[in-house]
Amino acid sequence: MLSEIQKQLLAEIADLHKVPEGAYNIRANGEAAGRNSTANIEITSKTDKPGIDIRIKPGTKNESVHIPVVLSQSGMKEVVYNDFFVGDDCDVLIIAGCGIHNCGDQDSAHDGVHCFHIGKNCKLKYVEKHYGAGDGQGKRIMNPRTEVYIGEGSSVEMEMVQIKGVDDTKRDTVAKLEKGARLVVHERLLTHGEQRAESEYTVELNGENSSADVVSRSVAKEHSYQIYRSRIVGNALSTGHTECDAIIMDEAKVLAIPELEANNIDSALVHEAAIGKIAGDQIIKLMTLGLTEAEAEEQIINGFLR
């Protein structure tokens, strides 16, 4: 039975207000809190380490998998390994994410390692949301690692979101693409207080006509610190684009490090990076509509991170 705090965390990270339809695995404070497999999607526990295997049969269409994690005990730390095996010709949605509520003095941490093995001609959307809450002095720490192996002709869209309450995070993503494969990443990140966030993406375009578009939008407030590293490697006829667009406020700091490596004469790679404060005329325009300066800033930030 989930507590009210755990239910609130599930609503924040996975938009779950009741037991989801389809396949799901809910983990709470290091234990299984609910699981369901379907005819096409099987979820089983690993026998050698914490985590699960998710096997999706070839040809599975219009189905979803929810695998959220919630921690509500101060001082709890765990590492979980989840592997996804997606058969050919699938079209599926996978919703993950982690929420930590810490009201104690000890740090709470969740490290999730997700590895995707995606077959040919698939369409997959992956949504990962991180959220922290609680008024304790202990930190809320999340260090996700994501590995994506995209088969021939498959398309993967990844939505990586961290908007509130996470004190320390290192987000590490590695992707390798075969012939005709496509990857699109949309990262949205907000830090405040003394929070620190580091994002690192490494994408290898190994197959002919593969492509990647990795875009990060972030806001750094108060004394927080962000690092964004993105490396795209063109090993074949391919196209790659990476972009970091950040708003910096107060005494925050942002470091953007885009990197391109072309190992084939037919690889076309582009990077963009922009860091700056909110334009004064934007705030003034909203204030003429009756908003306070703080309300105007909030509206601009919400629109930027949408």
- Give me the pLDDT at residue 1, please: 61
Task: Name which of 126, 164, 158 is nearest 142 in CA terms.
Answer: 164
Burial of residue 21, with CB atoms counted within 10 A of its CB: 0-12 exposed, 13-18 middle, 19 or more buried: exposed
Domain residue ranges in the chain: 4-279
pLDDT at 9: 82
Q: What φ, ψ does residue 268 adopt, rounded to 5°?
A: -120, 110
Which pLDDT score, from 0 to 100, does residue 286 have? 84
For every one of its 306 residues, what pLDDT tens digit does the chain have, with 9 covering 90 and above?
A: 677 888 788 888 887 666 778 899 999 998 888 999 999 999 999 999 999 999 999 999 999 999 999 999 999 999 999 999 999 999 999 999 899 999 999 999 999 999 999 999 999 999 999 999 998 899 999 999 999 999 999 999 999 999 789 999 999 999 999 999 999 999 999 999 999 999 999 999 999 999 999 999 999 999 999 999 999 999 999 999 999 999 999 999 999 999 999 999 999 999 999 999 998 888 888 888 888 888 888 898 988 888
> Which is nearest to 196 in space by CA: 220, 174, 215?
220
Place of tokens 């026998």: 47
Q: Where in 37-107 does DSSP place strands (E)?
A: 41-45, 51-56, 61-66, 69-71, 77-86, 91-95, 98-101
The structure's pTM equals 0.94
pLDDT at 181: 98
Residues whose CB is less than 8 angstroms from the CB of residue 226 and which lie 6 or more positions away in sequence, other chains included: 189, 191, 196, 197, 198, 199, 218, 220, 246, 252, 253, 254, 255
